[in-house]
Amino acid sequence: MATSSENAATVRELIHRVLNEGDMSFAEKVLSEDYVEGSPMPGSAGDKASAIAMFAMMREQSPDMRIEVEDVVASGSKVAVRSTMTATDTNGFMPGMPPTGKRYEMGAMDVFTFDDGGMNTEHYGVYDIPGAMVQLGLMPAPGSE
């Protein structure tokens, strides 16, 4: 049975290899076939294929994206990660948005769930999207109106 520290190591490797280096094969390997995305993008099926498509989309929008893991809390089947993503808005903050070419930082909280075999079965997360959009000039700063 996978221990919580093994699960934590898998999450660190997932962030490093898949999101920072663009190696989608590692996501294919560690996300279970019945994976459920608890924070799906609008219109997404929230399954394994759409999760991997989202990782690829993030890399496509900001190819130099880098996630710095600041804290990992792991217990039983759960792993929480606090991180900051730094990136250049090269191809639009989201698909369809005009690129600003600016650098931005975005705080994130993610929680991953694992099965006994160490496969990632579920994920949910919350991201400081408004903070990033304010840095890119895509949204006014709160209280500035």
Neighbour tally for 58: CB within 10 Å:
18
Contacting another protein within 62-81 (CB under 8 A): 71, 73-76, 78, 80
Number of Cβ atoms within 10 Å of the Cβ of 101: 9
Spatial distance between the Cα atoms of 36 and 87, rounded to a whole number of angstroms = 27
The yes or no reply on residue 45 touching another protein (CB under 8 A) is no
The window from 14-22, 24-32, 34-42 that contacts another protein (CB under 8 A) reads: 34-42
* Residue among 9 and 17 whose Cβ is closer to another protein: 9
Which residues on adjacent β-strands are paired with residue 66?
86
Q: Of 26 and 124, which has the nearer Cβ to another protein?
A: 124
* Best CA proximity match to 15, nearest among 89, 84, 95: 84
Cα(62)–Cα(91) distance, integer angstroms: 6
Q: Does 121 bind another protein (CB under 8 A)?
A: no
CA 60, 67, 10, 34 dihedral sign is: negative
In whole angstroms, what is the distance from residue 125 CA to residue 38 CA? 8
Does the footprint of another protein cover residue 91 (CB under 8 A)?
no
| 44 lies in the binding site for another protein (CB under 8 A) | yes
Using rule CB under 8 A, residue 96 touches another protein:
yes
User: Does 95 interact with another protein (rule: CB under 8 A)?
Assistant: yes
Query: Binding residues for another protein, per CB under 8 A?
Result: 4, 39, 41-44, 71, 73-76, 78, 80, 82, 94-96, 107-111, 124-131, 140, 142-143, 145
